Structure 1
Amino acid sequence: MSDLFDDPVPGENSPEFSVTELSGAIKRVIEGEFGHVRIRGEVGRVSMPRSGHVYLDLKDDRSVISGVIWKGVAGRLATKPEEGMEVIATGRITTFGGQSKYQIVIEDIRPAGMGALMAMLEKRKAALQAEGLFDPARKKKLPYLPEIIGVVTSPSGAVIRDILHRLRDRFPRKVLIWPVAVQGAACAPEVAKAIRGFNAMTPGGALPRPDLLIVARGGGSIEDLWGFNEEVVARAAAASEIPLISAVGHETDTTLIDFVSDLRAPTPTAAAEHAVPVRMELLSWVGDAQARLSHALTSRLDRNGQRLRDLARALPRPEALLDSPRQRFDAQSDRLPAALIRSVQVRRVALSDVAGSLRPSLLRRAIEGERRRLSVLGPRLAPALSRSTLNRRTGLEALSARLTPRPIRSEVAQQHRALADLTRRLSEAQVRRIDEAKARLDGLDRLRETLGHRATLARGYAIVRGDDKVITSTAAAADAAGLEIEFSDGRFKIGGAGTKTKRSKPKPPEQGSLF
């Protein structure tokens, strides 16, 4: 190393180094002395920055050494280092002059035996269970007969052939296969990607989304099945919206995906059996159900028919049901004409009595008197209203001219216009009231004429009198000394012996009552 030393200062025998020279010399000594080593220890702090490199500490009960796993090596590792895991790391010792420390560049890292793997597995299992991913309440029900089944497995193994063979025997369904590596470093990311990929498909699309997923792998050691123990696979299975069956390993093998899946099958063949029913058994059950349904319907129809026949025998004949209503109808029909005639006679007599008590002459005189009074008041009302309005307007104008200041005369003029409009409306209202009263009187007069006996006589009726009384029966007519029949155009007298007398002229309506 003499080529690294500067010339000695006169009087001193210690060479001088730069910091970089000394750091490089130490680096060459350490790397040359140790080279590749294997270290057993516990993983301490683990850091995974965005660069993809992994920085960690390896420690025992007394010492700590820093370690680094470059990005290319970290992607190929079968087991990701976790804090607290006991591992065996293989790499080379080097120094990092920027921080004056030595470290190991790890090229391979593995758990230190089965105990370490199981401890790490239990730790992951406890963490996922604490998050509720193993809760039975969140598990989804499997579809009874899925149309499409998605299978995540290796396309070249015996597992896919077993699944397809069992599906074909039980109930053939459409199968979509997502090929993945089922062991090694690529297993976990590819399985998680396949589960997420199936869930991302569009239902009913060109490549429709499956109704059921099966994640399957044959048996193997715990190292071979370790990819299904990775946290990324367990979380992908837990987040799947499609019901998922895990069939990893044999019946005695257990992985984390078994706990988060909706159903665990002991073998891939058993997963296919859980996925679909047996077609022949289903057809047999449908046939039995159809036979039972047909028998039940036939029995029900027979019972109902027998009950209907029993009830029909207890019912009377339709003709007998109509006999009594038909008889009542005939009786009412016979009574109806006589009842109508009596009703007309009673109403006619009542109308004659009312018409006789109306005193047409008195009503006519009252109506004429009211009409004359309204005719006299009508022409006088309009001039009186006009004079009153003019006087009030003149007085208001004079008063407003004396009392109202000039700025508010416009308001007074507006009040004058309102008063004029009110006067006009009042006059029109009075005229309307007079017209309405006249129309009401005319209506009453027409009603009087309609209800009077003259209008009744004009329709073909007649009034029979005898002994100055109205005759309403044949007995009264026989006892009367003479009869007088009044028609619409006059009266006709009949003597007591039944001889006819000449017709008398009709009396004027002002002579008094009909009776």
Structure 2
Amino acid sequence: MDDLIDDASPRGRNEGEYTVSEISGAVKRALEDAFGRIRVKGEIGRIFRARSGHLYYDIKDDRNVLACTTWKGQVAQLSVAPEEGMEVVVTGRLSAFGAQSKYNLNVDAMEVAGAGALMAMLEKRRAALAAEGLFEAARKRKLPFLPEVIGVVTSPQGAVIRDILHRLADRFPRHVLVWPVAVQGRACAPEVANAIRGFNALAPGGQIPRPDLLIVARGGGSIEDLWGFNEEIVVRAAADSDIPLISAVGHETDTTLIDHAADRRAPTPTAAAEMAVPVRLDLLAHVAQLGARQTRAARAQVAARRQRLADLSRGLPRPDALLAGPRQRLDSLSGRLPAALRARAGGARVAFSRLDGRITPRLLSARIAGERRRLDQLSGRLDAALPRRIARARERLDPLAARLRPAALGRRAAQDRDRLSALLGRLARAARGAQADRTARLAALERLRQSLGYERTLERGFAVIRAGDAILSEAEAARAAGRIEIQFRDGRVAAVTDGSPAPKVRAKPKPPPKDQGSLF
């Protein structure tokens, strides 16, 4: 029994004894000395981000798995964001974690393992975003024909912004807002996405004008340089933009995911500027051509109608022929008029003579006597009928007189007074309700009038040109008026025109500023 409990052999007494912590420390020092800083290539497996911000993931090949850790302060230094299935090359220090008898690699640098792996990951991301419908043609908006304000998301240094500004100045100068961003590296994707969302967040009519069109631009480069424009955050920001967006990333052969989500893709930043605005001189020439065509068409219409009028006038008879018949009838009737008047006067005289024989004093006296007898009969009947009529009237008036006694009148007056008070109350309530309805309707009409009035148009930068009480809409009328009045949003200004047309001078492009800086 003692032999089983205490091994007294020399071998058992000579072996060294270690604590668990000593073994763990020795293993950790051995790993850190043998693998101080190494590079490991493999495929990213599971990924876990702790609440503390630390990142835990696996690097694996076809047979083994290596646990990796990137601390919170090291995550921002990684050039790419790790994704499951991505083939990468990680750099770090190998160490052991004695509390769990595990070893892992503390990664402080990560890069994609070759262009093939990048392209595979790009195709996988493109398919996933396309399945969500972010690249559908129905989502794409039509670009404005002539935007007032153009927002450009690019680096303030380099040739890209200079090329865009120079091309816009050549074609049609516009108000340009530049949102400076990093166009490569880890900060590229969040800054570009924030710039797109920032432009969309601007309120229309605010202190900083909201762009009518956005251009996201960058020069050419390798797939690694352009990778920021393949990030999901940038693609979603471009797809969600309410402002039409042109993607001009890289050269013509370069394609990024933002190109699929944008409303239009430009092969170069210069081409994006050409898509954004038309050529001003071409528009002026086209307008002049349309004006000339309109003038020629008006002249042709007037000439055709003049010819038609001449043709119709040749088919009308001469004025003498039109008046010959009426003139003959007038002459004939004028000759017959004196004889007709004499015949009419003679007939009237004969009729009067016949009536004169029938009207004699004897006949008139007999007629008057008959009327006097009839009047005497009616007078006798009146004396007998008048007392009866008075009696019947008195019978009708006695009940009415009883109703008009003071007591009856008092009750009736009280009833009428109560009824009148009730009616007055109803009338007052009805009047107040009608007045409130009309006041609300008047306020609604006033709001509608203000929203439809031209003053809201003045607030967007337009102006009204007046000559006296007349409103001018053409430059020729303004030159002819001489003295004009210009109404802006905040008042009116008097002006004098010299009557000569403005010279057509092509504006020279302004040199770009040395450092535009951030506008926000």
| TM bracket (short chain) | 0.5 to 0.7
Kindly indicate whether residue 391 of structure 2 is the aligned counterpart of residue 373 of structure 1: no
Q: How does 1:161-172 map to 2 (within 5 A)?
A: 161-172=162-173
Amino acid at match of 2:391: V
| Distance in 2 separating the partners of 1:369 and 1:54 | 131
SS in 1 for 2:246: strand
* Higher mean displacement: 45-54 or 283-292: 45-54
Amino acid at match of 2:45: G
| Distance in 1 separating the partners of 2:398 and 2:183 | 119
* Higher mean displacement: 266-275 or 91-100: 91-100
Question: 1:102 — aligned with what?
Answer: 103
Following TM superposition, by how much is the alpha carbon of 1:239 offset from its aligned partner in structure 2, in angstroms?
1.7
| Distance in 2 separating the partners of 1:100 and 1:308 | 111
Q: How does 1:312-327 map to 2 (within 5 A)?
A: none
Question: 1:156 — aligned with what?
Answer: 157
Q: How does 1:157-196 map to 2 (within 5 A)?
A: 157-196=158-197
Query: CA separation of 1:314/1:103 partners in 2, compared to 1, >3 Å: closer, same or farther?
Result: same
Question: 1:63 — aligned with what?
Answer: 64
Q: How does 1:373-412 map to 2 (within 5 A)?
A: 373-377=388-392, 379=394
Conserved? CA contact 2:77–2:108, under 8 Å = no
| Distance in 2 separating the partners of 1:236 and 1:205 | 22
Amino acid at match of 1:194: A
Conserved? CA contact 2:37–2:91, under 8 Å = yes
* Higher mean displacement: 243-252 or 166-175: 166-175
Conserved? CA contact 2:249–2:269, under 8 Å = yes
Report percent identity of matched pairs: 58
Kindly indicate whether residue 281 of structure 2 is the aligned counterpart of residue 280 of structure 1: yes
Following TM superposition, by how much is the alpha carbon of 1:220 offset from its aligned partner in structure 2, in angstroms?
1.1
Q: Greater relative contact order: 1 or 2 (C-alpha under 8 angstroms, separation 6 or more)?
A: 2
| Distance in 2 separating the partners of 1:366 and 1:48 | 128
Question: 2:36 — aligned with what?
Answer: 35
Q: In the TM superposition, what whole-angstrom CA distance separates every residue of 1:282-323 from its partner, at most 9, and x where no partner exists?
A: 111111111111111222233334445555676787x97xx8
Following TM superposition, by how much is the alpha carbon of 1:139 offset from its aligned partner in structure 2, in angstroms?
0.9
Q: How does 1:11-410 map to 2 (within 5 A)?
A: 20=21, 22-308=23-309, 371-377=386-392, 379=394
* Higher mean displacement: 153-162 or 125-134: 153-162
SS in 2 for 1:273: helix
| Distance in 2 separating the partners of 1:250 and 1:143 | 24
Q: In the TM superposition, what whole-angstrom CA distance separates every residue of 1:12-41 from its partner, at most 9, and x where no partner exists?
A: 857776655554444333333332232222
| Distance in 1 separating the partners of 2:35 and 2:238 | 45
Conserved? CA contact 2:186–2:228, under 8 Å = yes
Following TM superposition, by how much is the alpha carbon of 1:73 offset from its aligned partner in structure 2, in angstroms?
2.3
Q: In the TM superposition, what whole-angstrom CA distance separates every residue of 1:165-208 from its partner, at most 9, and x where no partner exists?
A: 22222222222222222111121122122222222233343332
* Higher mean displacement: 170-179 or 362-371: 362-371
SS in 2 for 1:183: coil
Query: CA separation of 1:383/1:301 partners in 2, compared to 1, >3 Å: closer, same or farther?
Result: closer
Query: CA separation of 1:421/1:212 partners in 2, compared to 1, >3 Å: closer, same or farther?
Result: closer
Query: CA separation of 1:303/1:112 partners in 2, compared to 1, >3 Å: closer, same or farther?
Result: same
Normalising to structure 1: TM-score of the pair? 0.61
| Distance in 2 separating the partners of 1:143 and 1:380 | 95
SS in 2 for 1:80: coil
* Higher mean displacement: 46-55 or 161-170: 46-55
SS in 2 for 1:253: coil
SS in 1 for 2:118: helix
| Distance in 2 separating the partners of 1:147 and 1:384 | 91
Amino acid at match of 1:290: G
| Distance in 2 separating the partners of 1:70 and 1:166 | 47
* Higher mean displacement: 174-183 or 368-377: 368-377
User: Where do 5+ consecutive residues of structure 1 fail to align?
Assistant: 1-8, 343-351, 388-416, 423-515
Conserved? CA contact 2:168–2:274, under 8 Å = yes
Query: CA separation of 1:370/1:305 partners in 2, compared to 1, >3 Å: closer, same or farther?
Result: farther
User: Where do 5+ consecutive residues of structure 2 fail to align?
Assistant: 1-5, 346-350, 352-366, 413-520
Following TM superposition, by how much is the alpha carbon of 1:63 offset from its aligned partner in structure 2, in angstroms?
2.9
Query: CA separation of 1:252/1:370 partners in 2, compared to 1, >3 Å: closer, same or farther?
Result: farther
Question: 1:465 — aligned with what?
Answer: none
Following TM superposition, by how much is the alpha carbon of 1:269 offset from its aligned partner in structure 2, in angstroms?
1.3
Query: CA separation of 1:315/1:77 partners in 2, compared to 1, >3 Å: closer, same or farther?
Result: farther
| Distance in 1 separating the partners of 2:115 and 2:396 | 126
Q: How many residues align?
A: 364
Query: CA separation of 1:231/1:385 partners in 2, compared to 1, >3 Å: closer, same or farther?
Result: closer
| Distance in 1 separating the partners of 2:210 and 2:393 | 97
Query: CA separation of 1:175/1:362 partners in 2, compared to 1, >3 Å: closer, same or farther?
Result: same
Query: CA separation of 1:184/1:421 partners in 2, compared to 1, >3 Å: closer, same or farther?
Result: closer
Query: CA separation of 1:386/1:99 partners in 2, compared to 1, >3 Å: closer, same or farther?
Result: same
* Higher mean displacement: 213-222 or 51-60: 51-60
Following TM superposition, by how much is the alpha carbon of 1:55 offset from its aligned partner in structure 2, in angstroms?
2.0
| Distance in 2 separating the partners of 1:27 and 1:374 | 142
Normalising to structure 2: TM-score of the pair? 0.60
| Distance in 1 separating the partners of 2:54 and 2:80 | 15
Amino acid at match of 2:176: V
| Distance in 1 separating the partners of 2:399 and 2:300 | 101
